[in-house]
Structure 1
Amino acid sequence: MVRDFSKLMLRAFNAEADNLVRSLKPYKLDAAVERLRKVASTIERLGRSMDIRVSTQYLRIRIDELTLTADFLHKQAEEKEADRAERERLKEERKAQQELERERERLEKERAHYANALAALEAKGDLEAVARIRDQLADVDRALSDVDYRAANIRAGYVYVISNIGSFGEAMVKVGMTRRLDPRDRIRELSDASVPFNFDVHALFFSKDAVGIEGQMHARLSERRVNAVNRRREFFRVTPLEAKMHLSELAGELLEFEDIPEALEFRQSLSQVPAPIVLATSQSASLATQ
């Protein structure tokens, strides 16, 4: 009888432990361990008359199993997030490279057009027009040089500080960087259907070491991260003015910075919310006038 009752108790304990392992979430590890200890305590109480209990060593082994499972699930989630972030980074890099290639092709065509026009004007002897075309040709050459520099220097790009008070409140900003020719294209992509309102731009400036400035900003604001687990989430609980202070120290004098977000759609939405309707009975109305 004792042997059969021991097998029954062991099956009950293992069934509970297996179920905890199958349904475990990393953030629920402490609760799962506590639940398993309570099961072991219950078995010991019910089997006290027959001196039946779960041994301390076996309980420790099952707790270690829960701990290892939680660690595995956490690492697995980190790998999935890293893969997703890497795919997003490569996608962004491809877009930036395609934009640079298209811009270079456009500028080369424009340069060829000016070169042909210059040759024709020099043949005519129109010195005034020749000087004007040469200035325009020099502008195109500078633009080509800038495109070549951007393509060669992967650290160059735009650093941005944006907010979305309609979605996240006033004391939260996102600090990031992009290598796109038009950085607002990237910001418009962030303002997609995943958030109810568009992001507002507080700072947007080009830097030869945008990667370095972004990294230093993240380091300075690390204690104010919204997501303390996933370091790839670039949201911080700071006001735009606090972000401006750090940016000014890292990047020098900022030519343009918007302290107050426009938040046009959010503010219009607030103004269109109807006032609450108050229904009063005749009795309550009479009491209000007394």
Structure 2
Amino acid sequence: MGGRGGTDPGIVETDDRLVLQEVGIYTYHHPLANAAAYRDQLTDIQAAIQEAVTSGEAIAASNMFSFNNSLAKGRTMTADLSKLMLRAYNAEADICVRTIRAGNLATAVTRLNKAAVTIAKLGDMMDMHVADAYHARRIRELELTADYLMKVQQEKEAARAERERLKEERKVEQELAAQREKLDKERAHYQNVLTSIGGTDLQEKQRILDKLADLDRAIEDNDYRQTNIRAGYVYVISNQGAFGPNVVKIGMTRRLDPMDRVRELGSACVPFPFDTHALYFSDDAITLENALHNAFTGQRLNHANLRREFFFATPAQVRDVLAAHVGNLLEYTEQPDATQYLKSRSNWPAGAATGPTT
């Protein structure tokens, strides 16, 4: 929009970015690599804005307006009014910049467009308006600011997720190392027993040999888990009391006991523990997890942050997709227990039980 223009209410908006934002998906107006790049761009555009102000290019106006039949007085009045109009416009622009959020960019742009239209109407006699190039710079400043705020948010979330991943990896490494130490000690113990038996008790000797074979397999499995970072458990869990009956979380963990991870999730910022529908060990749990996520990608709760692994789906729907990828599922629990949730509902205050029912 130019300084004197406006948006025709009869025109249908076809900007895909606005359509996507209406459903909660943010698209960058000026895609850049990181927040630092946006800061640099903002510094450049703000310098260009200041240059336009100091050079007198921010407000366009006729130099032929006369006052009391005096062209000089008319030009003085035009210059003074231009400063006043520019101050009002810049105040509105600065408010838009300070209050902008990634989700309200369209509102901020509309507000600034209206300010430009108002100034053009007030200055119509002098053909005065905010210069199109200056207005475009301030709109670009708004877009870059919104992009910058979103990029900062995404980088913070990525950093948090990376910290969580590293924390989880350290736990896995510690568990596997402790398990290997335990297995080594147990194997050394049975090896000593085998040595002390000699050849007198063949039945006991065979029992010890079988035990050593079991321990060797356990050590081999443990070493495999240490070297193959893609191996782990894919889990399907739900929390009916927190999210409703048709929402599941699909994730993966490399923990020796995957229920440790499930219990952690149930103790973090949710009122009830999670119910487990499936725990499936896979040599390539990462690929399997991604396949399940892709199958339900259109049913995500959070389309802005794909690290949030919650989906609008029933456990039965996930079971069918999982079975299609891995074949027969030996264990899968359809119905959640939701024990604490069901026990709690009867004690909730009147009118509070607005959540899902079973």
Structure-2-length-normalised TM-score: 0.75
Task: Give me the whole-angstrom Cα distance separating, in 1, the residues matched to 2:290 and 2:127.
Answer: 61
Name the aligned partner's letter for residue 219 of structure 2.
Answer: L
Q: String of CA shifts for 1:75-99, please: whole Å, max 9, x gaps.
A: 1211111111111111101100100
Pick which of 57-66 and 178-187 moved more: 57-66
Task: Give me the whole-angstrom Cα distance separating, in 2, the residues matched to 1:40 and 1:165.
Answer: 51
Give the Å deviation of 1:45: 2.0
1:181 aligns with 2:260: no
Q: 2:284 aligns with which of 193, 196, 209?
A: 209
Task: Give runs of aligned pairs for residues 241-252 of structure 1, distance below 5 A.
Answer: 241-252=316-327
Q: String of CA shifts for 1:139-185, please: whole Å, max 9, x gaps.
A: 11111111001001111000000011100111111100000000000
Tell me which residue corresponds to 2:155: 79
Pick which of 51-60 and 247-256 moved more: 51-60
Tell me which residue corresponds to 1:57: 133
Q: 1:101 aligns with which of 168, 171, 177?
A: 177
Q: 2:296 aligns with which of 195, 213, 221?
A: 221
Pick which of 148-157 and 188-197 moved more: 188-197
Task: Give me the whole-angstrom Cα distance separating, in 2, the residues matched to 1:4 and 1:274.
Answer: 65
Task: Give runs of aligned pairs for residues 58-207 of structure 1, distance below 5 A.
Answer: 58-122=134-198, 125-207=200-282
Name the aligned partner's letter for residue 112 of structure 2.
Answer: L
1:3 aligns with 2:79: yes
SS at match of 2:130: coil
1:17 aligns with 2:93: yes
SS at match of 1:205: strand
In structure 2, list runs of 5 or more residues that go unmatched. Answer: 1-76, 352-358
Q: String of CA shifts for 1:50-71, please: whole Å, max 9, x gaps.
A: 3322122221221111111111
Query: RMSD in angstroms over aligned alpha carbons?
Result: 1.3
Task: Give me the whole-angstrom Cα distance separating, in 2, the residues matched to 1:45 and 1:230.
Answer: 44
Name the aligned partner's letter for residue 3 of structure 1.
Answer: A
Give the Å deviation of 1:275: 6.5
SS at match of 2:250: strand
Task: Give me the whole-angstrom Cα distance separating, in 1, the residues matched to 2:83 and 2:117.
Answer: 17
Task: Give me the whole-angstrom Cα distance separating, in 2, the residues matched to 1:137 and 1:152.
Answer: 22
Give the Å deviation of 1:272: 2.9
Give the Å deviation of 1:190: 0.6
SS at match of 2:335: coil
Structure-1-length-normalised TM-score: 0.92
Name the aligned partner's letter for residue 92 of structure 2.
Answer: E
Q: 1:234 aligns with which of 302, 309, 334?
A: 309
Q: 2:335 aligns with which of 235, 248, 260?
A: 260
Q: Per residue, is there more helix in 1 or in 2?
A: 1
Task: Give me the whole-angstrom Cα distance separating, in 1, the residues matched to 2:350 and 2:229.
Answer: 52
Task: Give me the whole-angstrom Cα distance separating, in 2, the residues matched to 1:145 and 1:271.
Answer: 51
Task: Give me the whole-angstrom Cα distance separating, in 2, the residues matched to 1:251 and 1:92.
Answer: 25
How many residues get paired? 275
Name the aligned partner's letter for residue 280 of structure 2.
Answer: F
Pick which of 61-70 and 89-98 moved more: 61-70
Tell me which residue corresponds to 1:286: none
